[in-house]
Structure 1
Amino acid sequence: MAIEYDTLLEQVEGHDFWLSYLSDALQATSGVGIHLAIFAEPFLSMILSGEKTIESRFSRNRCAPYREISDGDIILAKAVAGPVLGIALARRVWYYDLGTEPIGRIRDRFGAGIRADEEFWSSRSDALYATLIELDTPAAIAPVNSSKRDRRGWVALRSRQLSFDFL
């Protein structure tokens, strides 16, 4: 799966923070992770407008982004069956094992930032794991194509854990 990073850099011109942060993150020595996250509406628009400040991913298995995203990583926001339309910073990340942390407690603490309705919460009642990500500095960008064709909702394009610096 490919993202044209040069094209991505062109699309963040005019966003001073993102031009600098992304340029640094794309250096071979950077430890910043880069993630591709798929969003349906209205959540994509809510993220890009800054209205949705917490992204949540619930699952029955330990799958991305669980234990794969870290504070300071970059999230590329891709529309379902569409291009990358935005970028956001993972300001802070929390992981939960829902066998020990009740989902109701997560809803009470993060629900306002997640911006989800009752149906959303009901549909996650059988989840075993949760990843919550505080989003910062969201920015809409001109569309950037991605060759992603599978059904995964989250892909670590470059994991912080896979970055090594050998001398």
Structure 2
Amino acid sequence: MEVEFDELVKQVTGHSFWLSYLSAATKPISQLGIHVAIFSEPFLSLVLSGEKRVESRFSRTRCAPYGEVGAGDVILIKETAGPICGLSLVRRAWYYDLISEPIERIRNQYGPAIHADDAFWSSRADAHYATLIELDETVTIHPVQCDKRDRRGWVSLRSRQLTFDFV
């Protein structure tokens, strides 16, 4: 999977925070983590509108984003089976082993910020791990194509997966 990084920079030219932040990320010493997160409705609209301030990912195994996302990282917001349509900054991330931390405690503490209903929480009852991510500076952008073809809901990109065109 590759993402045209320069295309992302073009799409944020009207957003001074993102233009500065992403431009700094092209410097060789940048340690910026970049992640592609796939969203379906209604969560996509809630994140893009800024109503949903905490993203949650639950799994039975230790997989991305568990242990891979951190403060200052960039999340590329991708619509299910669609393009990248937004960006968000990771303000903070929390990791939970649900064997020792009851999911009900997470629901009580973060439920309103996650914006999930009873069916959502019931469907995660068999999860063993949880990653919670506080989102900030979320912005909608013009669609940027991404050639992701697998079923993963989260991908942490490595530098070889970003295409830079320095013109």
Same fold (TM over 0.5): yes
TM-score of the two chains, using structure 2 as the length reference: 0.93
Question: In structure 1, what is the equivalent of residue 87 of structure 2?
Answer: 87
Q: Deviations over 1:31-50 (max 9, x none)?
A: 11000000001111110110
Identify the residue that residue 9 of structure 1 maps to in structure 2. Answer: 9
- Output the amino acid matched with 1:139: V
Within 2, Cα distance between the matches of 1:89 and 1:15? 13
Instruction: Kindly provide the amino acid, as one letter, of the partner of residue 135 in structure 2.
Output: L
What corresponds to 2:18 in structure 1?
A: 18
Aligned length: 159
Structure-2 residue corresponding to 1:33:
33
Can you give the 5+ residue segments of structure 1 that lack an aligned partner in the other structure? 160-167
Give 1:147 shift. 0.6
CA distance in 2, matches of 1:46, 1:13: 23
What root-mean-square deviation, in Å, do the aligned CA atoms of Structure 1 and Structure 2 show?
0.9
Structure 1 runs (4+) deviating above 3 angstroms are none
- CA–CA separation in structure 1 for the residues paired with 2:130 and 2:74: 19
The correspondence of residues 110-129 of structure 1 with structure 2, limited to 5 A, is 110-129=110-129
Q: Structure 1 length as normaliser, TM-score?
A: 0.93
- Alignment deviations for residues 56-110 of structure 1 (CA, whole Å, 9 cap, x no partner): 0000000000000011100000000000000000100000000000000000111
Classify the secondary structure of the residue corresponding to 1:150: coil
Q: How far apart, in 2, do the equivalents of 1:64 and 1:120 lie?
A: 20
